[in-house]
Structure 1
Amino acid sequence: MTTASIPRRAPVQARSRQTVARILDAAAAIADEQGVDAVTTRAIADRAGVAYPSLYRFFADRDAILDELMERHCAEIDARCVAAEQTWEIASIAELLNNELDLHVDYYRKHPGAAGLWMGGRGSATVIKHVHARMHTLAGRLHDILVAAGLIPTETDRRAILVAVEMADRLLELSYRDNDDFDQAILDIGKFALIAFGEAMASGLQA
């Protein structure tokens, strides 16, 4: 767990925004290629082509960069999920949960640095707050999708869907724990519990 970083004021000038984007792109590339531990301010500055002292005009420290990078990953995952969800014709709660898990696994495989940042156990207060808010938003969307498809009762407590989302997140974390890549077998085993919980909701049997 890292300490909370000082919130960064978003740059107004286009040139400054481009510099921030280069810094985040560099941090993401290093994390994907070499792992999160290799993401140092010096390495980021060199990769981004930014003068080392200038980097601190935009970010207080390494943690501030990683915090914003994690938030950017969350936004990209959300955008992909929203776009995909609009194309699905869901026939069961298991299908929806599997689709969401597959989307997340695909993203983490393409962006291993994102998995390293979140699944690797790193999290500042800033990132944790952001991710928890994302979990609530995702749970709300899934609730509405399932109700609209007639797969769960309208009165289903939204917190039940939040529990399912949090279970899925922990399942992904366990699939990455103690493994340099991804343990598909753990994911497959965990899906049994997740889908059983989903089917209980579909039957209106949630506690």
Structure 2
Amino acid sequence: MSPRPRDTDRATGTDTGNDTGTDAGSGADVETSAQPRQRIIEAAAGLLAREGRDAVTTRAVAVAAGVQPPAIYRMFGDKGGLLDAVAEYGFARFLATKHVDPDPPDLIEDLRGGWDLAVEFGLANPALFSLMYSEPTRPTSAAFRAGLDVLMGRIRRLAAGGWLRVDEALAAMLIHATARGAVLTWLSLPEDRRDPALLTTLRESMVAAVTTQEPAVQDTGPAGAARSLRAALPEQTVLSGAEQHLLREWLDRVAAEG
């Protein structure tokens, strides 16, 4: 099943699906927020969704949030600081959509589902998604790191089950890069050229690159077993930190030969 491109309003760029969650740009969000900082961030996110990044000026945000421009400078420093806060808000919204099953019945389908979720979020929030990934320093945000922890949990479960074809760090990069590339490529295409087969093909290419068709631990080769043992190391308490470090180095070498 391919990720579903969400319906968006052409005038505002915001998601028009039937989700029960509240849209970042809705007036209700701005009016009911109790905290001025959050009200400003939500107002900026609304302008971003409706009119694009150039519309997110200090004056426009102040009017939308019902505050004076100096309040924005006091809280965020400048427009760049405000955009950083909006990007962090986007990462937090995305994190809130992630429902983690600690013991999924099908690890490969769990991987597909996580990838689909990332792509669907990007397609439903194009301006916000572009802002979130436009600066190399933004992935250091707390919400981004929390989302990465969710992804690494999926990858470690794959490794522990012997399904991982590559090392965990490379798997994370492949998953992240293909999802981000899928969103940006889709958004760059004219609407009449947006074929859902593109998303399905990219996802399945990612799955094929990251995972094996059968659990590697069932094979006689040591690489899959090394990856499985390495993934399980954080759960054990027998070895000291130094011993874990040394064993992980050895396992990295064995896994690299696979």
- Same fold, judged at TM 0.5 (above): yes
> Hey, what's the Cα distance between the residues in 1 that align with 2:43 and 2:110?
34
Are 1:102 and 2:113 an aligned pair? no
Write the distance in 1 (CA, Å) between the matches of 2:96 and 2:213: 26
Choose between structure 1 and 2 for higher RCO, CA contacts under 8 A separated by at least 6 residues: 1
1:91 and 2:106 are equivalent in the alignment: yes
Match for residue 69 of structure 2 among 52, 56, 73: 52
Q: How many Å separate the matches in 1 of 2:149 and 2:205? A: 23
Which digits, 9 at most, give the CA deviation of each residue in 1:118-145, with x for residues without a partner? 35xx21x541433874574243211233
Q: What is the deviation of 1:106?
A: 2.9
Change (3 A) 1:142 1:135: same
Identity of matched residues, %:
25
The two structures, once aligned, show a CA RMSD in angstroms of: 3.3
> Corresponding residue for 2:149?
137
Gaps of 5+ in 2: 1-33, 217-223, 225-255
Q: Displacement, 1:146?
A: 2.7
**Equivalence for 1:168:** 178
The amino acid across from 1:165 in the alignment is I
Structure 2 CA distance for aligned equivalents of residues 112 and 163 of structure 1: 21
Task: Identify if the C-alpha distance between structure 1 residues 199 and 146 changes in structure 2 by more than 3 Å, giving closer, same or farther.
Answer: closer
- Partners in 2 of 1:111 and 1:176 — Cα distance? 13
After TM superposition, the structure 1 stretch with the greater mean CA deviation from structure 2, 182-191 or 49-58, is 182-191
1:10 corresponds in structure 2 to none
Q: Name the counterpart of 2:55.
A: 38
Tell me the amino acid that sits aligned with residue 212 of structure 2.
Answer: A
The answer to whether the Cα contact below 8 Å between 1:35 and 1:116 also exists between their aligned partners in 2 is: no
Please name the residue that 2:207 is paired with. 195
Change (3 A) 1:138 1:202: farther
State whether residues 152 and 203 of structure 1, in contact with CA within 8 Å, keep that contact through their aligned partners in structure 2.
Answer: yes
Q: Residues 41 and 86 of structure 2 are in contact (CA less than 8 Å); yes or no, is this contact kept in structure 1?
A: yes
Counterpart of 2:77 in 1: which secondary structure? coil
Letter of the structure 2 residue corresponding to residue 33 of structure 1? R
Q: Which of the numbers 21, 42, 62 marks the counterpart of 2:38? A: 21
- Distance in 2, Cα, partners of 1:71 & 1:98: 25
Per the alignment, residue 5 of structure 1 pairs with none
Give the superposition deviation at 1:73: 1.4
Can you list the C-alpha shifts for 1:109-166, whole angstroms capped at 9, x where unaligned?
44333223135xx21x541433874574243211233356x3526x973224323333
- Looking at structure 2, the residues matched to 180 and 114 of structure 1 have their Cα atoms a distance apart, in angstroms, of 19
Larger radius of gyration: 2
Pairwise CA distance, 1:29: 0.7
